[in-house]
Structure 1
Amino acid sequence: MIKAVIFDMDGVLIDTEKHLVRCWCQAAREAGFPFTRENGLELRSLAAKYAGPLLQERFGKEFDYEKVRNRRKELMNQVLKEQGIEKKPGVDTLLDFLRAHGIKTAVATATDEERAARYLKEIGIYDKFDHIVCATMVPNGKPKPDIYLYACEKIKEKPCDCMGVEDSPNGIRAALDAGLKTVMVPDLTEPDETLKKELFAVAKSLDGLIPVIEQENKC
């Protein structure tokens, strides 16, 4: 039985991961590092406390994570100011379905509280969630399970009765290790064969999860 659905934000609810990866590449290259798209993909949903050491492992101790990250934020803010926030396909259809069927909803995002609220309000879905949980609220961000466990606590449901919706390996790992029924709605990458075996389901878009939920709740 699925009693709640907990969503990642970037790449799941809003179409921002493409900008994040591109801005990471630009910021790091401006600093003189041969940063590739693959390096950017590794950072999806990865908490800063893990991202910094990872990038220093890739590029050496001289990689100034905070400096590059701040520049990435500047670039990202500029892109979003020019282009706005785009919803991912099927967002409203799925959220309306969940509300109509009494299924709780939450967001579990690596983005800070201020920006998460601003982004979700901009696309008109902020009030459709019971709780917004950010990595700043827990000791360890993704890929650790803390944020999903805390989200389950806030909505007062057991992890095994919750579905976690993710688009990246780091987020998937967090949801799986928290004990949620974890589904992937691919954004920039598809799941590999190993990951597929661990997932509860894969859907092409968010509204594609409706039959998955209906089937599970018939059992």
Structure 2
Amino acid sequence: MFYNQSIENIKLIILSLDGGLLDLNHLRYNYLKYTCQKYDCFVSKDEFTLSLGNMNTMYQCSPIQDKISNQNLNQMIEKDLFAYSKLKQNIKKEGVDELLQFCRQKGIKIAVITTHKCKRAIQYMQLTGIYKNVDFVIGGDSQINPLPDSQILSTICKQMNISYDHTLVVANFPSLVEAANKLYMNVIYMMDLVAPTPTIEESVYKTAKNNLEIINILLFSKYDTLEMFSPILGMSKNMNETQLTHTYHQLLEKYADDPQLISLVERTYQYFYHLLNKKRIPTHNPIQNQNSENKHLEDTQDSIQSSSINKPSKQIDEPDDSISEKFSDHHVTSATSAISIDAKRMNELMDIINGQSEAETAQQDNEDILQVDHDQSNRQIKSKKTVLDHGIDFICNVLISILIVFICLLVSLILNDYFNDQSLILKSIYFIVQSYLNIVWGLFSFIFNACHQIIHIIPTYNQLLNNSHLLSPLAWQVVFTSIFNLMIIYIIKLIYSLTNKGNLK
């Protein structure tokens, strides 16, 4: 369906929890594909995408419904999917936080639709930290007709008191696009499981790869409208059909080598062609033009209130108490203890949802065994290398410390004869070296004297230097200074290592 869409003055954005905010459709499809493979069946992404829109109808076209009922299959998948999400919480789609923050800054309301029950949808949003930025939630457990019926979208607009032309629907599956088109809403298609078909591309304002691109569209697309380029291309709404078609074919011929311009020409032609055929629709306002729907909406109002949450109202805080019982059996902060699945089952679940088949798992197990053997041998070689490296490193440090000592002693002995020299530089060097040696020797003197007071067998510092038959006094001083230098080297290395780790974090 082609009609004039715009993103100017958007006051409400409707997002899908499944595949729009969270990467649930990919995980759900992987689980379904794995389950089908166990029965020698196969379901493609395109088939699964066409069935999205309602939790009760999602698996009606599955090839295993004669083996597992749709209801049981749905319960099994959703239970394991939520258990998986509590362990692996990085299931947010790219740019979700940025889009929600952008809307908050611009004063744009956020409504979320989901195939889940409303309570479970809130649990998902609290689990991923996005619930605080959402204004309205409506789940799949209401009595509202399932997509592609547009009732769920019209209900949101009525509850939020915002007209259709000020609403943007970010759709990621065909039934949501179709429902939005029925109300002539503004639609952006965000790719999820499959890329948009040509029919979808013609039915939406633009397509996006992720939520970050949606922000760019909201910021810059007003500068990229068909009306802006139509004068350059020579097309206008004042043309008749013959003139428009003639101009269209001329442009196709002229820009045959430029795919981008050809795409723009085709979009512009379709736009004006449909205008000529009176397919441009009047603006709809849910407050003024929903008299025909009011009766049906009133009949379902109770079910809507029980399965949707409008956060600003008082009723919104109450679900938090029942859900927030800190999720009772689904507490986020104690996720591992709350899941009644053993470790083997959870590992299997990880493989299923991440898209690993049994054959792939068996192959992976074999590869893992080989990898373990390889890693063990590598670790043994590495440990040997590590011991050798540490030994070489220690020897190098000892040699460096001894070299420093000999340089200090050499400088001290050489400059001692010139101490009375008037050169300020030589005096300064001698003073620094001598001070350093005196500090080191003084430190060891204090250590030995203190230890002698406690244990009399240990000699004092002077006794060690003067009464030792093992080394001369100067040799002992060289040893003490070398030990001190070695300690300083290792302290410097430790500080450097800790500093690097802090920078990496």
The match for 2:97 is 92
TM score, norm. by length of structure 1: 0.86
Selected match of 2:30 from 22, 26, 43: 22
Question: Quick check: 1:3–1:104 contact (8 Å CA) kept in 2?
Answer: yes
Q: Match of 2:23, as an amino acid? A: D
1:85-164 matched pairs, under 5 angstroms:
85-164=90-169
Post-superposition shift, 1:78?
A: 3.7
Q: Distance in 1 between matches of 2:144 and 2:37?
A: 31
Question: Quick check: 2:177–2:203 contact (8 Å CA) kept in 1?
Answer: no
3-state SS, counterpart of residue 136 of structure 1? coil
After superposition, the Cα gap between the structure-2 partners of 1:119 and 1:60, relative to the gap in structure 1 and judged at 3 Å, is closer
The match for 1:34 is 41
Alignment pair present for 1:9 and 2:49? no
Post-superposition shift, 1:179?
A: 2.7
Post-superposition shift, 1:97?
A: 1.3
Question: Quick check: 2:169–2:187 contact (8 Å CA) kept in 1?
Answer: yes
Post-superposition shift, 1:26?
A: 3.1
1:38-117 matched pairs, under 5 angstroms:
38=45, 39-48=47-56, 50-51=57-58, 53-55=60-62, 64-117=69-122
Q: Which moved more, 1:204-213 or 1:159-168?
A: 204-213
Post-superposition shift, 1:119?
A: 0.7
After superposition, the Cα gap between the structure-2 partners of 1:156 and 1:188, relative to the gap in structure 1 and judged at 3 Å, is same
The match for 1:171 is 176
After superposition, the Cα gap between the structure-2 partners of 1:29 and 1:73, relative to the gap in structure 1 and judged at 3 Å, is farther
Q: How big is the alpha-carbon RMSD for the aligned residues of Structure 1 and Structure 2? A: 2.5
After superposition, the Cα gap between the structure-2 partners of 1:105 and 1:217, relative to the gap in structure 1 and judged at 3 Å, is farther
After superposition, the Cα gap between the structure-2 partners of 1:3 and 1:81, relative to the gap in structure 1 and judged at 3 Å, is closer
Q: Distance in 1 between matches of 2:70 and 2:212?
A: 37
Q: Match of 2:22, as an amino acid? A: I
After superposition, the Cα gap between the structure-2 partners of 1:60 and 1:24, relative to the gap in structure 1 and judged at 3 Å, is closer
**Higher radius of gyration, 1 or 2:** 2
Question: Quick check: 1:167–1:184 contact (8 Å CA) kept in 2?
Answer: yes
- Give the number of equivalent residue pairs: 215
After superposition, the Cα gap between the structure-2 partners of 1:47 and 1:159, relative to the gap in structure 1 and judged at 3 Å, is farther
Q: Distance in 2 between matches of 1:34 and 1:79?
A: 24
TM score, norm. by length of structure 2: 0.39
Q: Match of 1:96, as an amino acid? A: Q
The match for 1:198 is 203
Q: Match of 1:132, as an amino acid? A: V
Q: Match of 2:11, as an amino acid? A: K
Question: Quick check: 2:188–2:206 contact (8 Å CA) kept in 1?
Answer: yes
Could you tell me the percent identity over the aligned residues? 21
The match for 2:488 is none
Question: Quick check: 1:182–1:199 contact (8 Å CA) kept in 2?
Answer: yes
Q: Distance in 2 between matches of 1:71 and 1:108?
A: 22
More helix by share: 2
Unaligned runs of 5+ in 2: 1-8, 226-505
Post-superposition shift, 1:212?
A: 2.3
Question: Quick check: 1:85–1:119 contact (8 Å CA) kept in 2?
Answer: no
Post-superposition shift, 1:105?
A: 1.2
Unaligned runs of 5+ in 1: none
After superposition, the Cα gap between the structure-2 partners of 1:126 and 1:15, relative to the gap in structure 1 and judged at 3 Å, is same
The match for 2:360 is none
Q: Distance in 2 between matches of 1:60 and 1:80?
A: 26
